[in-house]
Structure 1
Amino acid sequence: MTSKVPFYVSVVLLILVGIALSIFRHQTYGVPWTPGETRQVWDIEARIEFGAQGKPVKASLAAPNTQNGFTLISETSSSSGYGVSYVSTDTDRRAEWTIRNATGPQTIYYKAQFLVDPQANVDAVDPSEEEIELPTFTGPTEAAAKALIELANQRSADDLTFTRELIKTLNDAENQNASLLLHNLSKVEALDKLLAYAKIHSRVVGVIELEDGRRRQTIQQMNQVWDGAQWILFNPERTNQITVQNILIWDQSNISLLDLVGGQNSQVHFSMIVQEVSPQQATNDKVQADGLLNFSIHSLPLEEQAMFKTIMLIPIGALIVVFLRVIIGLKTSGTFMPVLIAVAFVQTQLFTGIVGFLLIVGTGLVIRSYLSRLNLLLVARISAVIIAVIMIISVFTVVAFKIGLTEGLSITFFPMIILSWTIERMSILWEEEGAKEVMLQGGGSLLTAVLVYLAMTNSYIEHLTFNFIGLQLIVLAGILLLGTYTGYRLTELRRFKPLAED
């Protein structure tokens, strides 16, 4: 007797792989488990204004990049007559506009779209190997800096708490050392110098506070401190560290926000709005932006995606058919004919599909009964039935259009070859088993098709099958397990009813 252990091991592996693929897709691509969720996309526009001096102009703006919590999905520029290019260096990205000659007021627009993406994690370059350049202070300010560092060092346990204590001291209006240091320095500059003097890796970054509908916002400077694994953002005006939920880091290099050659009186203002997008659109944008090695349906063109959206539902229909036939014992005409009929119902809508199915099969059985009297060969008889089905569909479609039933036009979605074989099988069954068996199998096929249709049109099932390819492996494992069932069907238990009554 062959052992079934390898079989059950294979089934368990299919289930585990399917679950792992689904979790990986959720974690990596941000695909939600339910269809009702949406994703936020921020449209941020930088408006650059300056006066050109009648000579070649070169404007270079610090450009943002994908960062923790945000994925850059697109960037565009609007600048009449200017050439534009995006330049990446070791420290930052910049958008550069150039023109041979320009005079008078100039306006350049740069727009970036960011997807709010909790899965976006950028590996930061470890600055521990870099040597910190110690800042210089004048005599009195150096003594004040040392006093502030010593006080913060006593009240802290690590670099992050040390930074918080420094910020508290800088915001203490009664602290004379802080007042002396802030006499010629801003809080951002003072904190950066104090951290460097204490030999703590830090940097100044330009950030934008995200607020829907905000206009003419200017960039703000904040401090980042290296905690050994990542950069932590601090606002020197507040003592707590900043989360990335509403803060977007625009300029990480702090070299300059805008470099301008050939112009004067430059200004940069930011405007922003937020919009909600579907999970599918968010996934497509993320895949294209990150260039991820994506083997999902989302990597295909939209036309093929639309086709696979229906195809990926067929395994669910197959699972339902196997359950109804193996466990329930429901009789159907053909094994998976109800699944194909249900696919047609998806296109025609349920009521129109049922009426069309009954009309086509009923009329086809009448024509098939006449063909049986001619004693034709099987191939010729099937071919004649196929032509008859095509004519029936054509006639019903024209009649529906003439009487104004536009729903009847969708009857052409029925699989003609499958219907022809169904008519042939039912006709033979009528001759061999009688009308009762035809009604049982025909009614079972129609009931199964309706149940499969209800499953296929469920928004949760549509979402899961289209977005999580691993679900197909779980369905396959379920079908394999059902295939090992050899017990009684539920419909067969009625034979034991007299025993139960006794």
Structure 2
Amino acid sequence: MSRLPFYLIVAFLLVAGVALSIHRHVQFEVPWTPGEQRQVWEVEAQVNFTADGGPVKVNMALPSSQQGYRILTEHTASPAYGLAFLEENGVRRAEWSTREAMGDQQLYYNVQALVAPESRNPQIESPPLRRDIVWESPYDTAASQVIERAWSRSADPVTFARELITDFTEERQGENARLLLTQFDRTPLLVRLLNQAGVPAREVSGLLLEHGRRRQSLTSWIQVFDDQEWVLFDPRTGTRGRPDNMLLWESAGQAVLEVQGGSNSRINFSMLSRNQSAAAAMRSQLADDTLINFSIHSLPLEDQALFQTILLIPIGALMVVILRVLVGIKTSGTFMPVLIALAFIQTTLITGLVGFLLVVAVGLVIRNYLSYLNLLLVARVTAVIITVIAIISVFSVLSYRFGLNAGLTITFFPMIILSWTIERMSILWEEEGPKQVLIQGGGSLLTAVLAYLAMNNPWIRHITFNFLGVQLILMALILLLGNYTGYRLLELRRFKPVTED
């Protein structure tokens, strides 16, 4: 029979598992190791204004995930105000409202932004050109001459914007530029000139992030569109490009803050930088599952904790397969060591070993007495189960009385599995002697310890929980091991006399 379909299935599982894991790491920046740290900026916006005594409505622009930054969490503090988050065409704003307010008012908005170099700007459309631009004399002539001068020294919209902005700097400022600046503010003026020249542009607001700074203000920038992409310019220097420490707060060309029913409105910002676990920083992003970004993070925390343990079982099963198929270790029960290893995770290794040996030893003594009663199998196993429960209860009470709280964790042992282990070892003792009991019991304990060490490794726990593609890789490896028909390592000693001769 051809083995080609089998190897194709194994290859598919390997490729799919690796591809899903790499996609998750690259696209969603899930770290490979649990100890990775990411920089997170926490920014607080404080809105101050004086209410007139009637209804108040406050509308403020909000930042979105963008190039270099990803928004993680946000919350507000606004007693006595209603709050709604509005989003239209990718533009996010917060709206506070109240029926009556009087005197000084303060509203707070807090956002956490993850520094994500791989993050990109969302796709945005070119803003419409303004067709209602009208200049009064003599500003119309000055505007035309400034545009004509920059146009002659440019090749495309981006270079035109660079030349136009540079002409308004102190070094190259001509008479026409100085005339226009006496009547208009610099940034709105440059946007107006760009639109008149047929170049889509708008004014945006950015926040320069510096650790520990307080009472900071937004700075104005110019966004120029060309061939489905945007380019940022500093209107003060003409420098092209975006500083690494700048978070675009408002990028739709709208007002940052609008207050109805109040006066003297202003907004300032405070910021702090801190390092945070990469896994924790990405948790909110991972909760948004898609068909490819399938993960456990969308489940409630209680269920996530449960699956974090369940996803370790294939690791323990792989250890059992390796030790039984390749090494040749004999165990009492096929996957009993995996369940014992899970109990060790809850009890810690030393406490688990001591508890396991005590329960099995006392259980074997009692099971030896039950053998003289000639009970039926079902009744005998049931009696052993009740005995195991009684033994665990007695040990737990004694541990508590003597102040050994670690002994209370012995209740995590799988009681049914322990009962069957005691039954199997007792039968093995009667049929093949104590040597086989020690061999299989010791093999089971060794396998359980090795499985525990693998399952309790922080890196393995992180990988299995955050990369579900690993389960496909484990399946492929187990299928390959199941196809192995060679000698086991412990069987090689049978051939030692041959090699000596």
TM-score, normalised relative to structure 1: 0.91
The equivalences for 1:241-260 within 5 A come to 241-243=240-242, 245-260=244-259
Q: In 2 relative to 1, CA 394–101 (structure 1 residues): closer, same or farther, beyond 3 Å? A: closer
Instruction: Name 1:143's counterpart in structure 2.
Output: 145
Measured against aligned partners, the alpha-carbon deviations of 1:462-502 in whole angstroms (never above 9, x if no partner) come to 10001011100100100000000000001111111122222
Please tell me whether the aligned partners of residues 205 and 224 of structure 1 are also in contact (alpha carbons under 8 angstroms). yes
Amino acid in structure 2 at the alignment position of 1:353: G
* Aligned counterparts of 1:442 and 1:242: Cα–Cα separation in 2: 68
* Aligned counterparts of 2:366 and 2:241: Cα–Cα separation in 1: 77
Q: In 2 relative to 1, CA 99–388 (structure 1 residues): closer, same or farther, beyond 3 Å? A: closer
The equivalences for 1:313-392 within 5 A come to 313-392=312-391
Q: Which moved more, 1:350-359 or 1:276-285?
A: 276-285
Please tell me whether the aligned partners of residues 76 and 110 of structure 2 are also in contact (alpha carbons under 8 angstroms). yes
Instruction: Name 1:264's counterpart in structure 2.
Output: 263
Measured against aligned partners, the alpha-carbon deviations of 1:38-94 in whole angstroms (never above 9, x if no partner) come to 334333222121222233322222223333333334433323322222333447333
Q: Which moved more, 1:307-316 or 1:18-27?
A: 18-27
Amino acid in structure 2 at the alignment position of 1:150: S
Instruction: Name 2:67's counterpart in structure 1.
Output: 68
Gaps of 5+ in 1: none
The equivalences for 1:167-182 within 5 A come to 167-171=165-169, 173-176=171-174, 178-179=177-178, 181-182=180-181
Q: In 2 relative to 1, CA 238–430 (structure 1 residues): closer, same or farther, beyond 3 Å? A: farther
Deviation at 1:274, TM superposition (A): 3.1
Instruction: Name 1:501's counterpart in structure 2.
Output: 500
Measured against aligned partners, the alpha-carbon deviations of 1:404-426 in whole angstroms (never above 9, x if no partner) come to 22211111111111111111111
* Aligned counterparts of 1:225 and 1:21: Cα–Cα separation in 2: 37
Deviation at 1:210, TM superposition (A): 1.6
Deviation at 1:257, TM superposition (A): 1.9
Please tell me whether the aligned partners of residues 69 and 244 of structure 1 are also in contact (alpha carbons under 8 angstroms). no
Q: Are 1:456 and 2:455 counterparts? A: yes
Instruction: Name 2:55's counterpart in structure 1.
Output: 56
Please tell me whether the aligned partners of residues 126 and 228 of structure 2 are also in contact (alpha carbons under 8 angstroms). no
**3-state SS of 1:442 partner:** helix
* Aligned counterparts of 1:333 and 1:291: Cα–Cα separation in 2: 41
* Aligned counterparts of 2:124 and 2:164: Cα–Cα separation in 1: 25
**3-state SS of 1:404 partner:** coil
Amino acid in structure 2 at the alignment position of 1:230: E
* Aligned counterparts of 1:292 and 1:250: Cα–Cα separation in 2: 28
Q: Which moved more, 1:238-247 or 1:354-363?
A: 238-247
Instruction: Name 1:310's counterpart in structure 2.
Output: 309
Please tell me whether the aligned partners of residues 127 and 201 of structure 1 are also in contact (alpha carbons under 8 angstroms). yes
Q: How many residues align?
A: 495
**3-state SS of 2:55 partner:** strand
* Aligned counterparts of 2:165 and 2:497: Cα–Cα separation in 1: 86
* Aligned counterparts of 2:303 and 2:190: Cα–Cα separation in 1: 55
TM-score, normalised relative to structure 2: 0.92
Amino acid in structure 2 at the alignment position of 1:313: L
**3-state SS of 1:127 partner:** coil
Measured against aligned partners, the alpha-carbon deviations of 1:223-275 in whole angstroms (never above 9, x if no partner) come to 11223233222223345433464211111233322222222222111112234
Deviation at 1:193, TM superposition (A): 3.5
Q: In 2 relative to 1, CA 90–361 (structure 1 residues): closer, same or farther, beyond 3 Å? A: closer
* Aligned counterparts of 1:208 and 1:252: Cα–Cα separation in 2: 12
**3-state SS of 1:376 partner:** coil
Instruction: Name 1:12's counterpart in structure 2.
Output: 11
* Aligned counterparts of 1:382 and 1:347: Cα–Cα separation in 2: 26
* Aligned counterparts of 1:287 and 1:47: Cα–Cα separation in 2: 30
* Aligned counterparts of 2:344 and 2:284: Cα–Cα separation in 1: 32
Instruction: Name 2:211's counterpart in structure 1.
Output: 212
Please tell me whether the aligned partners of residues 71 and 286 of structure 1 are also in contact (alpha carbons under 8 angstroms). no
* Aligned counterparts of 1:295 and 1:90: Cα–Cα separation in 2: 27
**3-state SS of 2:54 partner:** strand
Instruction: Name 1:123's counterpart in structure 2.
Output: 122
Please tell me whether the aligned partners of residues 224 and 234 of structure 1 are also in contact (alpha carbons under 8 angstroms). yes
Q: Which moved more, 1:340-349 or 1:402-411?
A: 402-411
Deviation at 1:189, TM superposition (A): 3.3
Deviation at 1:186, TM superposition (A): 4.5
Q: Which moved more, 1:12-21 or 1:105-114?
A: 105-114
Please tell me whether the aligned partners of residues 143 and 193 of structure 2 are also in contact (alpha carbons under 8 angstroms). no
Deviation at 1:306, TM superposition (A): 0.6
Q: In 2 relative to 1, CA 490–106 (structure 1 residues): closer, same or farther, beyond 3 Å? A: same
Amino acid in structure 1 at the alignment position of 2:391: I
* Aligned counterparts of 1:238 and 1:35: Cα–Cα separation in 2: 43
Gaps of 5+ in 2: none
* Aligned counterparts of 1:143 and 1:71: Cα–Cα separation in 2: 43
Q: Are 1:102 and 2:104 counterparts? A: no
The equivalences for 1:220-235 within 5 A come to 220-235=219-234
Q: Which moved more, 1:362-371 or 1:90-99?
A: 90-99
Please tell me whether the aligned partners of residues 39 and 115 of structure 1 are also in contact (alpha carbons under 8 angstroms). yes
**3-state SS of 2:101 partner:** strand
* Aligned counterparts of 1:65 and 1:451: Cα–Cα separation in 2: 47
* Aligned counterparts of 2:129 and 2:159: Cα–Cα separation in 1: 22
Q: Which moved more, 1:320-329 or 1:80-89?
A: 80-89
Deviation at 1:13, TM superposition (A): 0.4
Amino acid in structure 2 at the alignment position of 1:478: L
Measured against aligned partners, the alpha-carbon deviations of 1:292-347 in whole angstroms (never above 9, x if no partner) come to 56531111110111111111111001001101110111111111111111111111
Q: In 2 relative to 1, CA 411–91 (structure 1 residues): closer, same or farther, beyond 3 Å? A: closer
* Aligned counterparts of 1:251 and 1:126: Cα–Cα separation in 2: 15
Amino acid in structure 1 at the alignment position of 2:298: S
**3-state SS of 1:357 partner:** helix
Q: Which moved more, 1:422-431 or 1:38-47?
A: 38-47
* Aligned counterparts of 1:319 and 1:70: Cα–Cα separation in 2: 40
The equivalences for 1:37-48 within 5 A come to 37-48=36-47
Instruction: Name 2:280's counterpart in structure 1.
Output: 281
Instruction: Name 1:437's counterpart in structure 2.
Output: 436
**3-state SS of 2:232 partner:** strand
**3-state SS of 2:306 partner:** helix
Measured against aligned partners, the alpha-carbon deviations of 1:435-458 in whole angstroms (never above 9, x if no partner) come to 111111111111111111111111
Instruction: Name 2:21's counterpart in structure 1.
Output: 22
Q: In 2 relative to 1, CA 291–319 (structure 1 residues): closer, same or farther, beyond 3 Å? A: closer
Deviation at 1:285, TM superposition (A): 1.6
Deviation at 1:398, TM superposition (A): 1.8
